[in-house]
Copies of this chain bind each other. A is one copy, B any other.
Amino acid sequence: MDRPSASHTPAVPTTTPEALARRQAARKQLVKKGLVLVNTGLGKGKTTAAFGVLFRAWGRGMRVCVIQFLKHQNGNWGEVRAAKKLGIEWLRMGDGFTWTSPDLDETVAKARHAWQQAQERIASGNYDLIVLDEFTYPLAYGWIPTDEVIAWLREYKPPMLHLIITGRYAPPALVEFADTVTDMTPVKHAFDAGIRAQPGIEF
């Protein structure tokens, strides 16, 4: 059988010769590095992609931890149940914030406290991967200054520690700082067809 024909091969170019050469050079390198990954955009999959990497890293015996900046500590979603079964450290530091929350001061104070908790863990050297879930919101809304966070990470993040930051509206300076950034772009969503959120899929 022939290679996929031009009529089957999607027209979207996936790379350029220059990018391919850089990637081939990268594959040959022996240098390892802790990456900063950002999953942003308005679509689904930002947080679940972080959990999927966590699952993969946990499979390799890596020391992992999740800090959720907005989720309430009483939430008992599927991922929290899974983490409990596996003994994965999983901090829910928020107050269940939504845009209709009555007390935004409390939300802001909790987000800042969560960042302190994150800083302790990041600087400790006790982890290989830390997920900062929905951390973009305190940055995007100015509750925690993005430039201070980046300056702090440049100074204190252990070189081999991987960080995954999720949430909409990733600030441009964070995108610039990160190694890998993906925008989860919504194409269509079941909600818009009148289908409710499904346990195990959405939460």
Interface residues of A (CB under 8 A from B): 1-4, 8-10, 12, 14, 19, 22-23, 25-35, 37-60, 62, 77-83, 85-86, 99, 104-105, 108, 128-129, 140-142, 162, 168-169, 175, 178-201, 203
In whole angstroms, what is the CA distance A169 to B10 when docked? 7
In whole angstroms, what is the CA distance A192 to B57 when docked? 22
Other 7 A-B pairs with CB < 8 A, given A35-B195, A183-B184: A8-B141, A9-B141, A51-B56, A52-B79, A56-B200, A162-B198, A179-B189
- Chain A binding surface SS class: mixed
In whole angstroms, what is the CA distance A140 to B200 when docked? 29
Question: What's the number of copies of this chain in the assembled complex?
Answer: 2
Minimum distance in angstroms from A19 CB to a CB of chain B = 6
Q: Is the CB of A55 within 8 A of B55?
A: yes
Minimum distance in angstroms from A172 CB to a CB of chain B = 11
Q: Is the CB of A26 within 8 A of B194?
A: yes
Q: Is the CB of A81 within 8 A of B52?
A: no
Residues of B near A80 (CB, < 8 A) are 59
